Amino acid sequence: MTIRKQVLLLLLFLLFIMEGTIVPWILPSSWQNVLMPNLVFIVLLFVSIYHNRHTALVLGIIFGMLHDVVFYGEMIGPFSLVMGFSTYIMGFIFRVRRAPMPLMMTVVILGSLLFDSMLYAIYRLFSLTQVTYDWNLLHHILPNLVLHFVFGLIIYVPLRKQLEKIASRERKEKAA
């Protein structure tokens, strides 16, 4: 059981690496400055819904911090705060056992919106960006949303199966 969890961690790290290295090459050149896919965040949303929102919170803070430190441009903290907070909130609002697919996709959409909007709000607060929210919504957040949605659809079946296995084993262990 613990092995499966470690594999999940390793996969998350691999996904984080891919985000910065392979994804920019897959995207067409003209989209490279438009899209900012955060694939780790989408996986964490799944963890938050199908496994445990507290685990998702901790993982969000850790991977957000990793992102902040590795791509240290302006400051440390925004990704960590936003990833932890929005995965936790999504898991808190949608406390449904065995959530069906449409619900999960709604979570992906809302979570993605919350994530990008909060990130924008933080940058605006520290006046690191001057564009308006409308412009940002149209040029970054919505294109991102589509990409996140597609990624969510792709990983839905395999990820849910694995996460539910982890959850059911934990329940059995608790019962025993």
Are the CB atoms for 39 and 18 separated by under 8 Å? yes
What distance in Å separates the CA atoms of residue 66 and residue 69, rounded to the nearest whole number? 5
Q: How far is the CB of 101 from other proteins (least distance, A)?
A: 26
- Give the residue with the Cβ less far from other proteins, 126 or 146: 126
Which residues have C-beta within 8 Å of that of residue 96, sequence separation ≥ 6?
49, 103
- Give the residue with the Cβ less far from other proteins, 72 or 97: 72
Q: How far is the CB of 92 from other proteins (least distance, A)?
A: 9
Give the interface with other proteins as residue ranges (CB under 8 A): 17-26, 29-30, 32-38, 66, 69-81, 119-120, 122-123, 126-131, 135, 140
Q: How far is the CB of 3 from other proteins (least distance, A)?
A: 21
Q: How far is the CB of 49 from other proteins (least distance, A)?
A: 19
- Give the residue with the Cβ less far from other proteins, 57 or 107: 57
Q: How far is the CB of 103 from other proteins (least distance, A)?
A: 21
- How many helices, marked H, and strands, marked E, lie in the chain? 8, 0
What distance in Å separates the CA atoms of residue 176 and residue 173, rounded to the nearest whole number? 5
The tally of CA atoms less than 13 A away on the side-chain side of residue 88 is 13
Which residues have C-beta within 8 Å of that of residue 170, sequence separation ≥ 6?
1
- Give the residue with the Cβ less far from other proteins, 3 or 72: 72
- Give the residue with the Cβ less far from other proteins, 46 or 63: 63
What distance in Å separates the CA atoms of residue 144 and residue 39, rounded to the nearest whole number? 11
